[in-house]
Structure 1
Amino acid sequence: MKRWMQSPLMTFAVIIAVWEGIALAQWFPETLFPSVDTVVKALIKLGAEGALISRIAYSIGIILMSMVMSLLAAAVLLWLSTRYKSMARQIGYLEAIFNPLPGMAVLPLVILWVGVTHKGMLLIMMHAMVWPIWAQMRVRFDALKQTYAAFMKAYSITGLRAGYHVYFCGSVGELLSSIKTAWSRGWRALISIEMVFGMVGTHTGLGWLIYERRMYMDTAGLYGVLLVIALIGVAVEQGLRTIEDRFRS
């Protein structure tokens, strides 16, 4: 199969063609299922008004900040669980308790603790992102430790040398895979949180823009914002895949 047929652009082209065909068939009212050009015009209008760019920048800024903080927190948890067996067990219990909880489930508690603030958003985002990173990396670190334990002991590789040359270099692929999982979970949590936070007074981010378009019955604009979120997701996926291919080549 030709390489261009496997690209994300080909997938988007097929989706757009099917969408336009359904819109032209007029199986649904235009207000519920607008054509592609109507969605694009609504998106251009939002961009011209400045609302779209500022909301994209805000949402990406929040999720990048949350990702950095989650990676740091996961690194601390990995160090503790690798260093101390008792800590590994306790952190595993915490992961089993908190990982299944969706961000929206802990949102009321976060609002009670810190209010409707950026700190609250960061806490919920970290809750969504830390655990998949820790869980996947912990499994990989255990496998590396079992594989290279005798090697590290024979050559006295400990501390930072073992951390970089064995654990980090040996788990780059899994790290990128865990970042993909955390990123997708973070996006879902972010959009939900922004819609709720927007209702209670913090009118920022793409989630609030979705809620705002729905409130004004701007279906084309709503689909346009969803399209932007999908394109950002594809761009991040391709970027991480490129980095992963370079490390493995």
Structure 2
Amino acid sequence: MVVPRRASDRLRRWAVRIGWPASLLLLWAFMAWRAEPALVELRAEHAALRREHAETAARLETLAQEAANLRRSDQVSRAANIELQQTLAERDEEISALRADVEFYERLVGATGQRRGLSVHAAEFQREAGGSWRYTLTLTQNLNRGAISRGRMRFAVEGVEGGALTTLDWPSLVPAELAPGQEYSFRYFQKLEGSIVLPEGFTPQRVRVTLDAPGGVVEARVPWPTPQGGTP
């Protein structure tokens, strides 16, 4: 049996095919129209947040640079302060040394200074980089202020080596050309300087100084100056 299609059925199918997409399109358009104000507001907020983020990042970079500059400035200030403290300490030492020298000169040449003949005022020994010892002997005399004291100086170092008392005489301490002694010539005082080498395992304890002068021989014994040179 053949049943012919009715025109109304065809219209209904076409209405469904066209109406469904059209209704979706109209729904989308309605929703977009309703959401448009909120979307514009969100876009404005997003743009404002981006600007705020950029400003915050720039401010953060500026603060980081300022902090780095402050740290460098603080380091420079600390270094300058340390250097200043060291310089002041050095100047204090120089002033103390100059005051001691002035007092020494006043006692030596002043009218009220004690009169003494040729003598060893001080003996200092300081360790050098190569292992040798730098000595400084200060000789003085103010008994005869018009006279010149001349002669030769020698010294021996007494100490302990291998558990036994040992004396190192002058020729064993200095080069051969200085074996006769170190010359001195002065009116009030003179500092004699030079270097000696002590053998390994030798512990110095005393220094015996001999001054050969036209008027006789002067001998003096001084302890090894530990504060200035220490022991080897």
User: Higher strand share goes to which structure?
Assistant: 2
- Which bracket does the TM-score occupy, shorter chain normalised? under 0.3
TM-score (norm 1): 0.20
TM-score (norm 2): 0.21
User: Higher helix share goes to which structure?
Assistant: 1
